[in-house]
Amino acid sequence: MPIDINAIASTIKTGITGIAQSSLKDYLPQAESDGQNIVNAIKANIQTWAAQLASGEISADDLKFLILSNEEMLKVAALTQAGILQIELDKFKQQVSNLIVNTLLSVVKV
């Protein structure tokens, strides 16, 4: 019973392409939507703070603190996105690993 290496390689290649397409298809729109939500929140915050400063509800020092606080929140949000990308890559690797194992097992029916 000879093993057709080319057929195995072709099956794995097709499978990996499919997994990659579905993984990124889910991740990119979500990342875009999260980014847009953050931009919208910042816009709304800045408008509110400017009005509060003008009315004397907050001081210039308060405003400075809020801006720096917002900047740090954005750094945490960037870490969330970086982490989610790592998670997506891990899921991709896990699926590729399963694909290879299942393909090899199906060839020799262990």
Question: Footprint of other proteins on this chain (CB under 8 A)?
Answer: 1, 3, 41, 45, 48-49, 52, 57-59, 62, 65-66, 68-73, 75-77, 79-80, 82-84, 86-87, 89-91, 93-94, 96-97, 100-101, 104-105, 107-108, 110
> Which of residues 32 and 71 has its CB atom nearest to other proteins in the complex?
71
Residue 64 CB, nearest distance to other proteins (Å)? 9
How far apart (Å, rounded) are the C-alpha atoms in residues 100 and 9? Answer: 9
Q: How far is CA 62 from the centre of its chain?
A: 33
Cα–Cα distance for residue pair 9/12, rounded to 1 Å: 5
In the complex with other proteins, the residue whose CB is nearer, 15 or 84, is: 84
AA letter at 69? S
* CB 22 to other proteins: min, Å: 16
Neighbours of 58 (CB within 10 A): 17
Q: Which is nearer to other proteins, 15 or 107 (CB)?
A: 107
User: To the nearest whole angstrom, how small is the minimum distance from the Cβ of residue 49 to other proteins?
Assistant: 6
**Residue partners of 58: CB distance under 8 A and separation at least 6:** 49, 52, 66
